[in-house]
Amino acid sequence: MNAANPTPAELLAVCELAARAGAEQLIAWRGRFKTREKAPRDLVTDADYASEKAVRAVIAEHFPDHGILGEEAPAMEQLERPYCWVVDPLDGTINYAHGLPCYGVSVAVASGGKLLAGVVYDPERNESFAASLGGGARLNGELMHTSSAQTVEESLVAVSFPPRLDDISLDLRAFMQVGPLCQAMRRTGSAALNLAYVACGRLDAHWAHEIHPWDAAAGVLLVSEAGGAVTATDGQPFDLVRADYLAASSTPLHQQLLPLIG
């Protein structure tokens, strides 16, 4: 491995190792963690910190000079480093804290704002959703693709609401626009898994207006490499700093949803 100039495939291999290391901590801490609020409706557990520590250790072992932007130590200036790893050690903390098995570890790496590799790992189902730039997307090693949905009417759509309910008005308006048109709406509590599910065809679309880079980075690459369409919620190219997105299984579906959620 050339640590100075790694290929997307080499980066992906470390994403996988790091995500699994974090997931091992989540399983180990399950049922015996302490919880506190970072902000109203925004929990953090001992498991979050243990997972991020494990993820960081794997990254540092292979790429000690790379930057790391993690949810539990968010330093946005890390994105300016030549390579920056973007880590959510536990996406779906509230689900995890309540024993709801819908959560995961998200690990991605970017350079110059371009996503190069990413993994979303679901420890409850032992599912690894992985993608590298130009290398396609895979679920447990098998190539995956977005669904064939082309219209809102045939789509199962997920939304991620912000933790602060005073900021929910935009999403509620979008929900009321999309809900009557699509087959059904879902809110799982894990943006990373939502994006992974769009990538593998279990969901047809997903949007989030208020989101963090670590929630979206790996999943956005998954959808793109699986044949889907991803932009910011206003139709501009996805931006890792801004991080809001609309992800859909196809360009026609994306174009139909875009005016409904804006």
Is 215 part of any known ligand binding site?
yes
> Annotation-wise, does 71 bind a ligand?
yes
Q: Is the dihedral of CA 134, 102, 169, 261 positive or negative?
A: positive
Q: Does residue 63 come out as left (phi exceeding 0), alpha (psi in the -120 to 50 range) or beta?
A: beta
Domain ranges of the chain: 8-143, 152-260
pLDDT of residue 242: 86
Range name among 46-50, 126-130, 215-219 with the lowest pLDDT average: 46-50
Q: Residue 37: pLDDT above 60?
A: no
Distance CA 103, CA 15 (A): 17
Query: Is the model's pLDDT at 220 over the cut of 60?
Result: yes
- The reported pTM is 0.94
Q: Is 244 annotated as a binding residue?
A: no
Q: What is the pLDDT of residue 105?
A: 98
Question: Has 91 been labeled as part of a binding site?
Answer: yes
For 17-35, write each residue's pLDDT tens digit: 999 999 999 999 887 766 6
Name residues whose C-beta falls within 8 Å of residue 56's C-beta, 6 or more positions apart in sequence: 68, 70, 87
In this predicted model, what pLDDT tens digit does every residue of 134-154 receive, in sequence order? 999 999 999 999 999 999 999
Domain spanning 152-260: which CATH class is it, in words? alpha beta
Q: How confident is the model at residue 70 (pLDDT cuts 50, 70, 90)?
A: confident
Domain covering 8-143 in this structure, CATH number = 3.30.540.10
- pLDDT of 36 > 70? The answer is no
Residue showing tokens 């929630």: 215
Kindly state the average pLDDT of the residues 154-173. 84
Look at residue 210 in the predicted model and tell me its pLDDT.
86
3-state SS, one letter per residue, for 24-66:
HHHHHHCCCCCEEEEECCEEEEHHHHHHHHHHHHHHHHHCCCC
